[in-house]
Amino acid sequence: MTLVIVFGVSIFAALMLCFLLLMGRSSAQSALLEQVTREARSTAPVTGPWKSGIRGDMLAKPFTAFRRSFASEPNPEIVRRLLLAGYRKPYHADIFLGSRLAVPAVLGLTVALVFTDNVFIFFVIALIVGYFAPDFWLSHAINRRRHELKLSLPDGLDLMSICLEAGLGMDQAVVRVGQELEMSHRALSEELLLINFEQRAGVQRIAAWQSFATRAGFESARSFVAMLIQTDRFGTPIAKSLGVFSDALRTQRRQLAEERAAKTTIKLVPPLVFCIFPSMGVVIVGPAFVAIKTFFAHFLH
């Protein structure tokens, strides 16, 4: 057991070394940018979302201190993937990077304490599963958020079309829809409010919507942004275009639901064959088989 624990500590140290070698180095520009953003956060007022994220910030403090000793900012690819999943806080990347080290160590220690036979094999499997588990979870979170955005986009476009027909401008309609959909469609609400924040920060409207299409990552969002670019270029009424596009999305969503409903017949075949038919066969054929066996037993005697 002592040898296994020593081996586990060695593997953990090796993973930390690999993590440090793969971590990107900081530059002077990134260090200056981090200093400016830190000063901005320190002068910003404490709001409700910041209060809700204090516990996550406290959890990320050890990983943040460990990471800052080697790099001033986390890996941009990890930050981008977390952004696609809806995690935009600065400490989310540090928690994710720390989980790549903590999860294998916890699983390896649990295997070393629980299992008594074939400990080495289960220990290696636990390390591999623990290292790749955060990546699998993040991929699942990205796909789930994209699915939520895809389902909520038609409702958001309908509400945006109503706001435009009521006299609001495009930017005001985006803010209004983002506020109204906060309870029913949180993912779309966050994306719309982020578009508004980017425009207030100086990003052009088309660039902000193209960033939204990139974050959404599905064809309907890209088509919607292309429609916005076309209406802005040719000066066509955007409210009417939004209404037509939302009707098309709703029709597409209904056709997708009908397609999934039609596939249920094929998907029910394996449960019928492997679960229901054997039990029905036992109930129907079983008594007849017992009767035939009893008959031949009496006939032979």
Residue 121 has pLDDT above 70, yes or no: yes
Residue type, 181: L
Query: What Å distances lie between residue 106 and 112, 129, 259, 263, CA to CA?
Result: 10, 11, 44, 42
Tokens encoding 268: 């029910």
* Residue with more model confidence, 198 or 299: 198
**Between 28 and 9, residue with greater pLDDT:** 9
DSSP 127-190: HHHHHHHHHHHHHHHHHHHHHHHHHHHHHHHHHHHHHHHTT--HHHHHHHHHHHTTTT-HHHHH
CB atoms within 10 A of CB 27: 12
Share the mean pLDDT of the chain: 77
Helices (H) and strands (E) in the chain, counts: 14, 0
pLDDT of residue 114: 81
Report the pLDDT value the prediction gives residue 117, as an integer from 0 to 100. Answer: 79
Measured CA to CA, the distance from residue 228 to residue 206 in angstroms comes to 8
pLDDT above 70 (res 21): no
CA nearest to 91, candidates 63, 69, 68, 66: 63
Residue 59 parent element (H or E)? helix 54-68
Q: Is the pLDDT of residue 91 over 60?
A: yes
Both tokens of residue 72?
A: 């001033």
224 is written with which tokens? 């919607």
pLDDT of residue 44: 39
State the pLDDT confidence band at 36, using cuts at 50, 70 and 90.
very low
Q: Could you tell me which residue, 81 or 37, shows the higher pLDDT?
A: 81
Q: How many CB atoms are located within 10 Å of the residue 24 CB?
A: 14
Rounded CA gap, 272 and 48, in Å? 52
Check: pTM over 0.75? Answer yes or no.
Answer: no
Position 71 confidence tier, pLDDT thresholds 50, 70, 90: low
Whether 12 and 104 have beta carbons less than 8 Å apart is answered as yes
User: Looking at residue 45, what is its pLDDT?
Assistant: 39
The CA distance from 24 to 73, in Å, is 8
Contacts 24+ apart (CB under 8 A), 4-10: 4/112, 4/119, 4/120, 4/123, 5/109, 5/112, 7/120, 7/123, 8/105, 8/108, 8/109, 8/112, 8/123
47 pLDDT band, cuts 50/70/90, is very low
Share of the chain above pLDDT 90, in %: 2
Rounded CA separation 31/33 (Å): 5
